[in-house]
Amino acid sequence: MPRVTLGTSALEISRLALGGNVFGWTASEEASYDILDAYVAAGGNAIDLADSYPHWAPGCFGGESEEIVGHWMRERGNRSDVVLCTKVGKFPGNQGLSRSQIMAGIDGSLRRLQTDYIDLYYCHADDLETPLEETLRALGELVSAGKVRAIAASNYSADRLSEALRIADEIGLPRFSAVQPQYSLVVRDEFEGPLQDVCEREGLACLPYWPLAAGFLTGKYDAAPSGARSDTVSQFQTPRNEATLDVVRAVADRHGVAPATVALAWLLTRSTVAAPIASASRVEQLPALVASTNLELTDQDLADLDAVSG
């Protein structure tokens, strides 16, 4: 699997990041181990988590996904081979980005992950109640202490991201080196435009979440999806998006690959995208995701996809 330097950081990541939000939810601990092993065997090294995952699942309270990955790394003895990405700000009972919330968040994540540092530490969502300077100073403390190697922002607007970068430069604090917005063939406007412009201007990498629109772009869901993701998938089932999926399927047929492979490969052609974050609940789903990192879409493929989704 190809790798790329992540934005302005010193981190080198594979061009597909593995989403860990399903660990402890739709993937049991045993299945999660199998998925993680297969991902690493395919050349992947970036695992995306959050301290709150998967708090929405029945019987879960947040932190279960981190615990599974922590156990897996301990058993495999491979911590130094993994680029570990996690987030702070949405853990139930510790929501926000004040200094105290960040310090409590990092301590919990390090304990669950059984490590003494996080490679990429995200602010999970902007906190308008806490001054950006307070958040950035707290993150700077973590970097200085060696608990965090690089910092990033998820779900920030272009204006707030620019302001955070300005404050960091003025005070001499670590800067965000990456962003994590929702971005896919069926949701383009949340990244393309001002946010993408900031990333291009400042050298930030984009790691899109929901690059398959919660599974919609895999093409496996019919008109009435069922299962754990049914409510999420149904929001994408619009006539426009169905038309986009039809073109994704046509391009996939031309290459003899799965629709998911095409949807991810399209993202990898986009400016500033370092690695889409895709999850798998079964190890059998992983090959189609990995294949995207080596699929070369033609000019005609890209024109067809842009025409229907742009």
Read off the tokens for 204.
């930030």
The pLDDT, as a whole number, for residue 169 is 98
Lowest mean pLDDT among 107-121, 223-237, 262-276: 223-237
Distance CA(287)–CA(86), nearest Å, equals 24
Mean pLDDT of 278-290: 98
Indicate which residue of 53, 121, 183, 221 is catalytic.
53
Whether residue 56 has pLDDT greater than 70: yes
**% helix / strand / coil in the chain, to the nearest 5?**
45, 15, 40
Distance CA(279)–CA(191), nearest Å, equals 20
Q: How many CB atoms lie within 10 A of CB 278?
A: 27
Q: How many CB atoms lie within 10 A of CB 49?
A: 26
Enumerate the β-bridge partners of residue 84. 47
The pLDDT, as a whole number, for residue 220 is 87
The pLDDT, as a whole number, for residue 232 is 83
Longest dimension (CA), the chain: 53
- Across the chain, what does the average pLDDT equal? 96
CB 173 within 8 A of CB 201: no
The pLDDT, as a whole number, for residue 221 is 81
For the chain, which domains are there? Answer: 3-216+260-296 (3.20.20.100)
The pLDDT, as a whole number, for residue 310 is 87
pLDDT digits (tens, 9 = 90+) for 21-34: 999 999 999 999 99
Read off the tokens for 289.
């995701």
Confidence of residue 234 (pLDDT cuts 50, 70, 90): confident
Matching residue, tokens 């929501």: 95
The pLDDT, as a whole number, for residue 226 is 59
pLDDT digits (tens, 9 = 90+) for 179-226: 999 999 999 999 999 999 999 999 999 999 999 999 999 998 865 555
Whether residue 47 has pLDDT greater than 90: yes
Mean pLDDT of 7-19: 97
Give 41: exposed, middle or buried? Use CB within 10 Å, 0-12, 13-18, 19+.
Answer: exposed
The pLDDT, as a whole number, for residue 108 is 98
To the question of pTM greater than 0.75 for the whole model, the response is: yes
- CA atoms within 13 Å, Cβ hemisphere of 11: 32
Mean pLDDT of 283-304: 98
Active-site residue, 53 included: yes
User: For the packed helices 239-255 and 259-268, what is the interaxial angle rounded to 10 degrees?
Assistant: 100
Query: Which amino acid is residue 139, in one-letter code?
Result: L
The CA radius of gyration of the chain, in Å to the nearest whole number, is 19
pLDDT digits (tens, 9 = 90+) for 89-139: 999 999 999 999 999 999 999 999 999 999 999 999 999 999 999 999 999
Whether residue 228 has pLDDT greater than 70: no
CB 196 within 8 A of CB 219: no
Lowest mean pLDDT among 34-48, 120-134, 223-237: 223-237
CB 51 within 8 A of CB 15: no
Enumerate the β-bridge partners of residue 85. 48, 120
Matching residue, tokens 């962003």: 179
Neighbouring residues of 53: CB distance < 8 A, sequence distance ≥ 6: 20, 21, 23, 24, 25, 62, 63, 64, 65, 66
